[in-house]
Amino acid sequence: MNFEIRKMKEEDLDQIEKIEKIVFPFGGWQKHQYQYEITTNPVSLPYVLTDGENIIGYYSIWQMFDYMTIATIAVNPDFQGQGFGNVLMMDIIQRSKSLNMKSIDLEVRVSNKTAIRLYEKFGFKHSHIRKGYYTNGEDAYFMIKNLRSDQDEFNFSN
């Protein structure tokens, strides 16, 4: 099977909306928010990982001055556990480095242990907690990865 990472298109939004409802049942993004990312948001870089037919995963990153923010990232549940989260994270890091970003940051639910392990594997460090960050009142970890270190900090032993 061949895979490619490409810019997100409006034709992708129906599949993304279905994935979003499963992956983020407590408040994922709406279709119109992705439409805004694609068509209007000047800092947004939205991408999909696809096999040509299915959206396997996707992300949107925001280029903010000299750092990148991961606004959203998800893997289709049908493809989870197969390393596609790693593929998306490697692409985000490479894309950020190619744009000379100093760091990448993100927020993640404190209960999302799978995502936290993924981010830690790629060298993200816990910075602080954002109390009541999500609409249901759940806290978020704010995590950051420095891109200016001499070598990448990938820890695949987890």
pLDDT per position as a tens digit, 53-102:
999 999 999 999 999 999 999 999 999 999 999 999 999 999 999 999 99
CATH node for 4-146:
3.40.630.30
> Is 61 in contact with 98 (CB distance < 8 Å)?
no
Please tell me the distance from the alpha carbon of residue 158 to that of residue 145, in angstroms, as a whole number. 17
Q: Where are the domains of the chain?
A: 4-146
Q: Which of 34, 59, 119, 141 is catalytic?
A: 119
Q: Which of 107, 120, 133, 134 is catalytic?
A: 107
Q: Does position 110 have pLDDT exceeding 60, yes or no?
A: yes
Give pLDDT tens digits for 8-27.
999 999 999 999 999 987 77
> Is 80 in contact with 118 (CB distance < 8 Å)?
no
Percent of the chain with pLDDT over 70: 94
107 is known as an active-site residue:
yes
37 is known as an active-site residue:
no
Upper half-sphere CA count for residue 109 (Cβ side, 13 Å): 17
